Amino acid sequence: MKLFKNILGVFFLSILLFTGCQEEDKEFGDLIAPTNITLSYEVLGQDDENPNGDGSGIVTFSATADDAITFIYSFGDNTNNASAPNGASSHRFTRTGISSYNVTVIASGIGGVTSSSSVNITVFSAFDDIEAKSFLSGAPISQDTDGTDVISISAPATKTWYLDDSKTGHLGVGPSLAFDIEIYGAPREYYYPSFFAAPPGTFCGSDGDCFCDDELIFTLNPDGSMNYLLDNKGTTFFNGNAAHQAIAGGAGGADACLDFNTSTVSNVSFAPGSEDWSLVADPSFEARGTQMNFSDSGFMSYYVGSSSYEIIEITETELYVRTLDAVDPNLAWYHKFTSSPGGGDVDDGYVYTNLVWEDDFNTAGAPDSTKWTYDLGTTDIFGNVGWGNQEAQSYTDNAENVIVENGSLKITAKKEGGDYTSARIKTQGLYDFTYGRVEVRAKLPSAQGTWPAIWMLGSNHPTVGWPSSGEVDIMEQRGNDKSYVEGTCHWYNTAGANNASYGENTPIENPSTEFHLYTLEWTEDAIKIFLDDVQYYELTNSVDLPFNGNFYLILNVAMGGTNGGNIDPAFTEDTMEIDYVKVFQ
């Protein structure tokens, strides 16, 4: 989508402005080393009953020195050093149990001369995520005599992860919490990649191909420590910010594959997640609450300067993480990985590849009248109130219910007093076709009682009626369960003189916060339906079925009815957002 690509340019690129100043003659004075260094610390929650702290592992430090310009801390736990210009620093120690660390502060004076002081501290950390460590490394979980989950191994356990190019959002970006509030006045999108979520197959085989063969290797050792190695095959995919690419000699301006050495093994520590997820309004969202911190500037495949990643979700085969851009604090980046080499099960062997019709929804305002028309009111053309499905809404062509803005079509169902309004648009009389591939990239409404649909009817529907015309539901989602989507075909069975249908459903993750790709491939031999390029439905086509003539496209959000079910009493409005519709033949 052209407009979307332009939006991406704003967030993916940074322009550095350099100002020149006339060089002046300088005369260096004496080199002065800091003296009288003092280093004090406080273990959070330390008292007589908890001499090593409250289990959070947090320790605050304060350093002073005569003639010091800045301070650097080395915490003795294999994490990155921390700069502290005023001498104050806070650090979370994450090794589970009671551990001792030798903490050193280095004071820098005039001319770069340094002095240092060290202190030995003992800290109790209660945080652990046994399951995440097991999933990451493949180490088995067992139980001790008390029935507590433990990992007890005599040799290192190693597991390799790969970019999951089969998933929407395998690379994505959205606002940080602070930027989200700045944009909207309240938290709204900071928990998903609302700016950009890469569709399946976006980078592999293109300019970001070096992103695709990365191997992320996690090793859990018998002593409980974890190591991480990124095998990037010599090349890393860098974000286009010039400040990011400078470390590899890049000039910035666009994302790029650059030669970069990632052979250093990082230590991985685990800590409670640092983001406040309590502000997320979506009840279906649930973060794990675990953060991974990599030493030695380790990172997970795509370079944005960060070494801390919050785990959103993890299973034995899937890993979904979020990190904040180290240069631009407004951006939160998302990555999806899989334990299967080559990504997930993607079916890209489509029959039809020639694009013959599309709407990218790049012109703001009402939908393009050369491509779309409307169904209006509460009654279908045969006089069936509730559109034959006991639906509660009245369809309108009002901008409040249907509009193109910010590069997307938005169909919004609204509560109007005690009634409901929504929109249903169609290509009837403007465009229809026989056989082909239909692709629709969309986000779905999340509210109970909403019934979104992407579907087709036979062009002879006004004369033969339903279901003789045939109906193909590329995507429907029921109002009482948003964890799956359905694909269905309806027809009239002449042999049995009855209405007939065949449907299947498939699970879906984050349907309302992430764009997903809904695809139909329709030939004279079969009707196949896909979610994110993975097939889950097939009906054998034949001359006895009505699926061999022209059909037209329909997009709508219904309320209640046979598939919408009970509507949430607190419902006010919800939206189906469509990025594009494409037809291939």
- Catalytic residue numbers read 471, 476
What's the CA gap between 567 and 181, in Å, rounded? 30
Q: Are strands 302-303 and 256-259 parallel, antiparallel or unpaired?
A: unpaired
First to last CA, the chain: 20
**Size of the chain in residues:** 585
- 68 Cβ contact partners less than 8 Å away, ≥ 6 residues apart: 34, 37, 87, 107, 108, 109
**Tokens at 541, concatenated:** 């086509």
What's the CA gap between 480 and 391, in Å, rounded? 15
Q: Are strands 58-66 and 373-375 parallel, antiparallel or unpaired?
A: unpaired
What's the CA gap between 42 and 235, in Å, rounded? 43
Q: Which residues of 296-311 are buried (b: 16+ CB within 10 A; e: fewer)?
A: eebbbbbbbbbbbbbb
* Cα 146 → chain centroid: 38
Q: What are phi and psi of 283, to 5 degrees?
A: -65, -20
Contact (CB, 8 A) for 499 and 490: yes
What's the CA gap between 307 and 303, in Å, rounded? 10
Sheet arrangement for strand 450-458: 373-375, 424-426, 551-559, 450-458, 471-476, 484-493, 498-507
Q: Which residues of 544-575 are buried (b: 16+ CB within 10 A; e: fewer)?
A: ebbbbeebbbbbbbbbbbebbeebeeebebbb
What's the CA gap between 300 and 237, in Å, rounded? 11
**Mind giving me the DSSP string for 321-388?**
EEEE-SS-TTEEEEEEEESSTT-S------S---EEEEE---S-BSPPTTT-EEE-BSB-TT--BGGG
